[in-house]
Structure 1
């Protein structure tokens, strides 16, 4: 490692080179992405190595690996560059000319029930907005922290000073049964419900449904016949069987075609929320998108 360099000599372009190499794990691909020579990328990384007194990247088994310190530096560099872009942006936001990329993290429920209306509304008002929908996969808050997502959408309850949230609406739980099921003719009592064989949606072990938490609070538990990671295809498992599945009411109206839908006897609800970070809290485009999402779910709030 050469003699250290004054860190104040580092500009945002150098940080962008670092971020790009970190994302692509290649000097060559980073140079192509940035439209510069590979030698310019190598020079910039060497300069940053001297600034941070760390190798940043090392080659192992013909692959480029980032050091632990590099991961931390890139996380902060992404935050700094994002904040500077917001600082440099015009104070007035015009959705008709906005061409920024905006990423929303969510899961199956939101992709089926909320995202279509959101996308249509956003594209109508901001046709050049570059939208991406990614899976939150139980790590939505981390995706916000790492700037992999701008907005998190779903039933998330984490309270930390770094995050902001806004409730969109609440949901009840209902039960899906085959029409020929012996208990499909009327409402289920709690004892009836606990005596049935259940399909349990585990959400990959990353999130637990509120009705399960409420049953545990009461010291009760389900007879689980099968566990699945997602509500996708749930209706195919229930149809023609003696199984019962418990899902949010609005989702049941979509995936429960041809099935009997009964109120769930476990008295609890879930709240569907918007979550974002302090980093984007006052950004004009983020404020506008959040307002559009809130307005697009207004009809659901009235139904409740």
Structure 2
């Protein structure tokens, strides 16, 4: 079969061809297309050259379709419909969507922020699926590679920042968590007492130095870290059976101390200045995707902010999302 060189085909002619074949009349086609009759006649001549066929054939009733045109018309309608969908604005209907929403976050981060999304899915998008990646690792790399759609984290991407959008989900501070009868439970927590204690911390990546240890190094200090875990949900068990301290976001600590077995205490003033934000992160490749926009709208407090951010500059995005 002879292959046509598509680079030589003016696709605008296909729109004119559809109307010509439907109307079977140059003047009526020109009126529908809001074009002059000579312009449509010239287009018909080019189409005849392109398809090597007369397409419209004179008859006693005006014009009839050639056998080739009869064959072309249904295929032409299908092609133009596909092209319209290709270049048109994509539409997302949660009620009929079977999309999978893939989110990377630690366990308690998911427990804090994802129920709102799941509630919306069970109400408006019954066929959609929520897939939560809570295993330790570089969640931002998963986002860069397209293995997840979103990351929920209080951390900052180590690389590829220009391609990642973010918006705050919550702002909190860092507090110290210990068992309710810990030796340090009844007095204000001083820096010396904090350094003298044994510690655990929760790590999203499972490697590297924690933010608290970096902060202590700025004072020339070092604490004794006994355990590093990738799960917030292990903290209550570790604290209840030992004298370990954990420095945790207050929004997380409030969830872990609800049964009264653990308590929260303010960190020493030297360590308590840092504000912590949890962010929803997504890659620029999906910024305008309608399904992603719908998900962001369910997760953030101000739905308009979920998809109004268009600039890749991180500092400007943070300013716009404050």
Q: TM-score, normalised by structure 2?
A: 0.59
Q: 1:263 aligns with which of 266, 272, 280?
A: 266
SS in 2 for 1:191: helix
Residues 208-287 of structure 1: pairs in structure 2 closer than 5 A:
208-256=209-257, 257=259, 258-265=261-268, 266-267=271-272, 268-287=274-293
- The number of residue pairs the alignment matches comes to 214
Alpha-carbon contact 1:105-1:151 (below 8 Å) kept = yes
Q: CA deviation at 1:191?
A: 1.9
**Are residues 260 and 90 of structure 1, via their aligned partners in 2, closer, same or farther at CA, if it must alter by over 3 Å?**
same
Map of 1:194-209 to 2, 5 A cutoff? 194-203=195-204, 205-206=206-207, 208-209=209-210
2:147 equivalent to 1:145? no
- Comparing 226-235 and 140-149, the one that deviates more: 226-235
For residues 162 and 213 of structure 2, what CA distance do their matches in structure 1 show? 28
In the TM superposition, residue 204 of structure 1 has moved relative to its aligned partner by: 5.0
Say whether the 8 Å CA contact 1:177–1:238 is kept in structure 2. Answer: yes
Q: CA deviation at 1:296?
A: 8.8
Deviation at 1:294, TM superposition (A): 0.6
How far did 1:208 drift? 4.9
Cα distance in 2 for partners of 1:134, 1:225 equals: 26
Choose 1 or 2 for highest CA Rg.
2
Question: Match of 2:171, SS?
Answer: strand
1:198–1:224: 8 Å Cα contact kept in structure 2? yes
Please list the CA deviations of residues 180-211 of structure 1 after superposition, one character each: whole Å capped at 9, or x if unmatched.
Answer: 22210132122221121212334453465433
Q: Counterpart in 1 of 2:112?
A: 113
| Mapping 1:1-304, distance limit 5 Å | 87=86, 91-135=90-134, 137-158=136-157, 160-203=161-204, 205-206=206-207, 208-256=209-257, 257=259, 258-265=261-268, 266-267=271-272, 268-295=274-301
State the Cα distance separating 1:87 from its structure 2 match: 4.6
TM-score under structure 1 length normalisation: 0.62
What secondary structure, in the 3-state scheme, does the structure 1 residue paired with 2:288 have? coil
Name structure 1 gaps, 5 residues minimum.
1-7, 9-83, 298-304
1:73-132: CA deviations, max 9, x gaps? xxxxxxxxxxx9x95786333322222222111112312211223211233222222221
- How far apart, in 2, do the equivalents of 1:88 and 1:184 lie? 63
**Matched residue SS, 2:166:** strand
